């Protein structure tokens, strides 16, 4: 469509809002009338030529066939579209026959709206158009709005026309109508200071995605073919893909069968998308309304191609109940099978953080890919994401599992980094993911990264956040870089700046890594002191509240019913001191049994303090033995004396030991256990750790000197470190068969000699870091250059100030 004609049409429609709605609607509500009226008028113009034929078919069915319900099929055949209107009215006839009586006009308009087929009625309902019509009638502007939309100076028909002044008005094609829809949405959102491109992906980005998907397989396109968009908005990606195929890849014998499918949660954009499908002759029933994440609308269906620009940085917490039951994922789309470090396969969680659901939309598309045994071509997907999809989430997280599943199953073909500020609603960096589950042999096992962030043309005027665009040449350059599949270095200009496009080819496992914990032994000193055991009276989670209560009420807190009798004062103090208590913690705080249980532990600590005094231990192992012997002796004495003894559980004894001990690097290592293995069990351990017996200390098993006997030390969690070991860590000519072990020997042990590997903590993760791969160092400017620039700026500033003040600088300097 000619851009000047398109802009004039948009401007004309835009003026309708100002001319007719200004005093009735606030500016932010103009779209509630204009968008549905544009859709309605377009449908109306399409049905005008066949109006009489449709009415005759309706008359035939009612009068001659005496049908109580209309048969859709013959009416659709007469209308020429998949929709129709059985009322006697058109928008033009409504206007021509209208009087000043708004109630009669309203009744006629409602009769007209009720005459539409069910699929259009759904669109009318999504737009809430009937309510708007009634509101406009009540404010006496309904006729004015209808008059504007049937004006001879606006052509929303698919045919060329002349206006009353003899000026030619080009036909508005279906493609042009789609542009009108989306441009109006963008302008209304921008005018309302809303997200200008929430439902609008720039056309040049869609064109790039389409080239990247279709150009490599243009000679093998299936017929028929299906295209799916799981967050279709107003349908721009779907219809652009269809137009591209029909224009660029026509077939000799007639028209290729292209079936478009989509789902959209927003009522308004769903209505526009569905009406757009009807206008263009596509099946509107393939467009579904609702949440893609909550409901698998196309369960069992598979598609040849997928395009999407899902919402990113958007919470899906409200939809979790449909995807997860507690910690368990209940939707099979978001469960994947992955192997652990030892190759044991299991189903794992493939859901990201609840604050950002964009990768869920990607997994929805993956679940709809055609297996190669069904379709030799497989499926191809282009999906736009922000940077978090590439690297957010640690090894074993849902985000990492999604990346790992896609890459390990060789579905990720390429990732293209786009320029900042290319989209209307965000200035952040965005990326196109290209997925293909049947890569050509040359690309199998590989992923191509393309950095096109410096490839753009600046706009003369910003459109929302959008301040640049791709030219056709840029799209061609990126597409060719993808098709050539070779490493390309970015160009460096004479001034030292980088420009152009850069690409790199990686093996799939280049993006993977092992996340493993490196442990260090706990070393503890211990000593009983009154101030150390005092907190044992209180629960650690409620310590502040309990300390206050005890300081005020003393030992009365141990009397049954006392705390509950004083609950109001206790709760008020907690509230005044910003201590939030839920129902569970409130109950616990007033539970006398809980207080008595903690007092019991405190009394045992007092007994031990009396025995041990202030003696300090540097060997916690000896300290534990002495404590155990002391408790045993205490219990034996009480039993012999037939006196009631304080009894504590092993967990309570550990609580006492924890509060009277602390880490000290000079103390003796704390022993967890000493194990002695039979040869068969030792062989199993060596196989599990993939090491030799002499290497067991590197995995936390330290020989005692006795045959097959090893000491295992307690770990100190504060000293624990997590290392990320590349899956491809170089093992050439190294002494081990394990990447993690070799990494430990190279990078950890030389610096921390007493550390060891906790191999059972190993998780596998995947991430893609563009900055890491494409960063180019640029040397800092010399101090002399910087100093010269400062001096130059200072001189210019002096001249500017003199001009402002109207002072002759030379005379001032002379004086």
How would DSSP label each residue in 598-657? HHHHHHHHHHHHHHHTT-EES-HHHHHHHHHHHHHHHHHHHHHTT-------HHHHHHHH
Q: What is the pTM of this model?
A: 0.86
CA–CA distances in Å: residue 644 to residues 634, 640, 656: 11, 10, 21
Asked whether 508 and 407 are in contact (CB, 8 A), the reply is yes
Assigned token pair, 524: 């503890």
Q: How confident is the model at residue 586 (pLDDT cuts 50, 70, 90)?
A: very high
- Segment 234-243 mean pLDDT: 89
Q: How do 305-308 and 380-386 pair as beta strands? A: parallel
> What does the domain layout of the chain look like in residue ranges?
3-172, 203-512, 524-663, 671-773, 783-814
Please tell me whether residue 815 adopts helix, strand or coil conformation.
coil
| Cis? peptide before 699, omega within 30° of 0 | no
Mean residue pLDDT across the chain:
89
Residue pair 209/221 in contact (Cβ under 8 Å)? The answer is no
pLDDT in tens, 684-699: 999 999 999 999 999 9
* pLDDT band, residue 803 (cuts 50/70/90): low
Average pLDDT on 320-336 reads 94
Residue 781 φ then ψ, to 5°: -70, 155
Q: What is the pLDDT of residue 196?
A: 39
Q: Which residue has the tokens 């400017």?
A: 781
- As a whole number of angstroms, the distance between CA 296 and CA 309 comes to 18
Residue 1: band (very low, low, confident or very high) from pLDDT cuts 50, 70, 90: very low
pLDDT per residue as tens digits for the range 450-494:
999 999 888 888 776 788 889 999 999 999 999 999 998 887 766
Collapsing DSSP to helix, strand or coil, 311 comes out as coil
Rounded Cα gap, residues 614 and 626, in angstroms: 14
**Which are the contacts of 313, defined by CB distance < 8 A and separation ≥ 6?**
355, 356, 358, 386, 388
3-class SS string, 348-390: EECCCCCCCCHHHHHHHHHHCECCCCCCCCCCEEEEEEECHHH
Structure tokens of 256?
């290729």
Compute the distance between CA of residue 238 and CA of residue 225 in angstroms, rounded to an integer: 12
Enumerate the β-bridge partners of residue 168: 162
**pLDDT > 70 fraction of the chain, expressed in percent and rounded:** 93
Q: Please choose, from the candidates 444, 454, 381, 391, the residue with its C-alpha nearest in 3D space to the C-alpha of residue 421.
A: 454
**pLDDT above 80: residue 103:** yes
Which residues in 671-705 are b (16+ Cβ under 10 Å) and which e? beeeeebeeeebeebbeebbbeeebbebbbbbeee
What's the whole-number mean pLDDT along residues 740-766? 95
Distance CA 352, CA 359 (A): 7
- What pLDDT, on a 0 to 100 scale, did the predictor assign at position 15? 86
Task: Output phi, psi for 380, to 5 deg.
Answer: -125, 135
Residue 402 has pLDDT above 90, yes or no: yes
The Cα–Cα gap between 774 and 490 comes to 9
Residues facing residue 214 across a β-bridge: none
State pLDDT tens for residues 421-431. Answer: 888 767 788 99
Weakest mean pLDDT among 143-157, 424-438, 487-501, 519-533: 487-501
Comparing CA positions, the residue from 240, 239, 241, 295 lying closest to residue 263 is 295
Q: Does domain 203-512 have CATH number 3.40.50.150?
A: yes
Is the CB of residue 745 less than 8 Å from the CB of residue 725?
A: no
Report the alpha-carbon distance of residue 350 to residue 348 in Å, rounded. 6
- Give the whole-number percent of the chain exceeding pLDDT 90: 68
Distances (CA, A) of 196 to 13, 189, 201, 674, 799: 18, 5, 10, 66, 43
């Amino acid at each position: 469509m000619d851009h000047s004609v398109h802009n004039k049409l948009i401007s004309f429609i835009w003026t309708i809002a100002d001319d007719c709605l200004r005093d009735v609607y606030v500016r932010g509500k103009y779209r509630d009338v204009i968008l549905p009226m544009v859709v309605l008028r377009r449908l109306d113009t399409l049905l005008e030529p066949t109006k009489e034929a449709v009415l005759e078919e309706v008359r035939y069915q009612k009068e001659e066939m005496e049908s109580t319900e209309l048969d859709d099929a013959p009416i659709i055949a007469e209308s020429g579209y998949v929709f129709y209107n059985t009322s006697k009215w058109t928008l033009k006839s409504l206007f021509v026959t209208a009087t000043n009586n708004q109630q009669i006009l309203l009744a006629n308009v409602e009769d007209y709206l009720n005459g539409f087929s069910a699929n259009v009625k759904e669109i009318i309902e999504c737009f809430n158009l009937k309510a708007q019509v009634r509101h406009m009638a009540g404010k006496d502007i309904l006729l004015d709005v209808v008059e504007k939309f049937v004006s001879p100076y606006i052509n929303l028909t698919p045919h060329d026309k002349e206006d009353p002044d003899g000026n030619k008005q080009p036909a508005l094609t279906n493609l042009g109508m789609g542009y009108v829809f989306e441009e109006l949405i963008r302008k209304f959102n921008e005018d309302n200071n809303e997200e200008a491109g929430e439902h609008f992906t720039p056309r040049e980005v869609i064109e790039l995605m389409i080239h990247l998907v279709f150009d490599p397989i243009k000679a093998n396109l299936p017929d028929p073919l299906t295209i799916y968009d799981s967050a279709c908005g107003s349908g721009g990606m779907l219809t652009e893909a269809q137009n591209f195929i029909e224009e660029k890849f026509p077939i000799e014998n007639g028209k290729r069968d292209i079936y478009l499918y989509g789902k959209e949660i927003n009522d308004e954009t769903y209505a526009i998308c569905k009406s757009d499908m009807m206008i263009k002759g596509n099946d509107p029933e393939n467009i579904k309304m609702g949440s893609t994440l909550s409901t698998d609308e196309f369960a069992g269906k598979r598609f040849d191609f997928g395009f999407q620009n899902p919402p990113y940085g958007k919470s899906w917490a409200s939809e979790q109940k449909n995807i997860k039951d507690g910690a368990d994922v209940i939707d099979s789309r978001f469960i994947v099978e992955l192997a652990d470090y030892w190759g044991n396969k299991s189903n794992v969680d493939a859901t990201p953080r609840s604050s950002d659901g964009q990768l869920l939309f990607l997994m929805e598309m993956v679940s709809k890919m055609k297996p190669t045994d069904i379709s030799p071509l497989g499926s191809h997907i282009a999906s736009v994401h922000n940077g978090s999809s590439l690297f957010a989430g640690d090894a074993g997280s849902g985000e990492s599992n999604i990346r790992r599943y896609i890459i390990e199953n060789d579905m990720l073909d390429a990732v293209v980094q786009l320029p900042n500020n290319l989209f209307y609603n965000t200035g952040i960096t965005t990326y196109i993911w290209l997925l293909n589950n049947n890569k050509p042999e040359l690309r199998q096992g590989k992923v191509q990264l393309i950095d096109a962030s410096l490839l753009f043309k600046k706009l003369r005027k910003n459109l929302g956040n959008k301040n640049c665009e791709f030219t056709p040449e840029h799209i061609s350059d990126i597409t060719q870089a993808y098709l050539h599949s070779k490493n390309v270095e970015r160009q460096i200009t004479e001034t030292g700046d980088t420009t152009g496009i850069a690409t790199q080819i990686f093996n799939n496992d280049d993006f993977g890594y092992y996340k493993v914990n490196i442990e260090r032994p706990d070393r503890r000193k211990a000593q009983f002191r009154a101030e150390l055991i005092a907190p044992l009276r209180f629960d650690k989670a409620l310590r502040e509240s309990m300390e206050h209560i005890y300081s005020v009420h003393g030992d009365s807190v141990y009397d049954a019913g006392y705390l509950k009798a004083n609950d109001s004062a206790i709760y008020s103090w907690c509230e005044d001191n910003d201590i939030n208590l839920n129902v569970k913690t409130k109950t616990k705080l007033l539970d006398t049994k809980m207080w008595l249980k903690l007092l019991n532990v405190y009394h045992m600590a007092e007994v031990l303090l009396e025995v041990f005094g202030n003696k300090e231990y540097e060997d916690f192992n000896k300290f534990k033995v002495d404590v155990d012997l002391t408790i045993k002796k205490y219990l034996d004495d009480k039993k012999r004396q037939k006196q009631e003894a304080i009894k504590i559980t092993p967990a309570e004894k550990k609580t006492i030991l924890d509060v009277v001990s602390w880490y000290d690097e000079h103390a003796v290592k704390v022993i967890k256990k000493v194990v002695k293995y039979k040869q068969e069990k030792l062989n199993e351990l060596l196989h599990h750790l993939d090491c030799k017996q002499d290497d067991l200390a590197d995995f936390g098993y330290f020989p005692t000197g006795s045959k097959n006997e090893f000491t295992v030390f307690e770990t100190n969690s504060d000293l624990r470190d997590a290392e990320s070991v590349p899956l491809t860590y170089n093992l050439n000519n190294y002494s081990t068969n394990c990447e993690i072990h070799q990494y430990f020997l190279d990078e950890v042990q030389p610096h921390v000699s007493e550390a060891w590997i906790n191999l059972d903590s190993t998780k596998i993760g995947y991430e893609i870091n563009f900055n890491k791969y494409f960063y180019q160092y640029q040397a800092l400017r010399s101090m002399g250059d910087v100093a010269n620039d400062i001096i130059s700026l200072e001189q210019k500033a002096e001249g500017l100030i003199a001009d402002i003040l109207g002072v002759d600088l030379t005379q001032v300097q002379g004086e």
